[in-house]
Amino acid sequence: MSPGILGKKIGMTQVFRPDGQVVPVTLLKAGPCAVVQRKTPATDGYDAVQLGLLEFVKPKRINKPATGHLKKAGTEGAKFLKEFRLDKGYPSQGDLKAGDQVLVSDFKVKDKVDVIGVSKGRGFAGVVKRHKFGGGEDSHGSMHHRAPGSIGASSFPSRVVPGMRMGGHMGNEQVTVRNLEIIDVDTEDNVLVVKGAVPGPNGSYVVVRRAKR
């Protein structure tokens, strides 16, 4: 049993349960993946596997060190690599070795998973959009419509405290959505159907791991 799988976000749609309930879902192109490296406490100090998403990638898109790393495991065409720690509570995860394949069939309907992706980048945004500030009065002469207000005291500490919420780059951050239910598994097309939304634009890489909480 694999601790997780790599894939790409296809998009959102909706499905109907047998009782007629509408469920918003996200389609994920999950796998096939290959075990590129098996890490053990004896050699690396911890127990983990490194998975690579098998897809069509031009050889020039993968640099020479990564190409040599893939050849050791007998795999090619894996540009997106991620590492998964192995859970001691699932002894079957320790059976994975370099060269093994991880398929979407490892997951079952009603399983819970965590999906990790990179959120959409929104560019530079002010405090009203980025941090949901209320802003000032909208009346004429306010001169404080969308300004952040005070950012610190003058006499003490006479500086801006680190972490102060200000305008800046919004989005383009790693986001983890926990405990998403698997609604359906399509083993023919390697598609995983999960309930709810997943971070990132369509076509972006995602990491699907078994729920930890």
Domain ranges of the chain: 4-123+175-210, 124-170
Closest CA to 49 of 100, 9, 90, 89: 100
pLDDT given at position 168: 94
pLDDT given at position 96: 80
Instruction: For the full predicted model, state whether its pTM sits above 0.85.
Output: no
Amino acid at 15: V
Residues in the chain with pLDDT values less than 70? 89-94
CB 80 within 8 A of CB 47: no
CA distance 208 to 194: 10
- 3-state class (DSSP) for residue 106: helix
pLDDT given at position 199: 93
pLDDT given at position 127: 94
Query: Domain 4-123+175-210 class?
Result: mainly beta
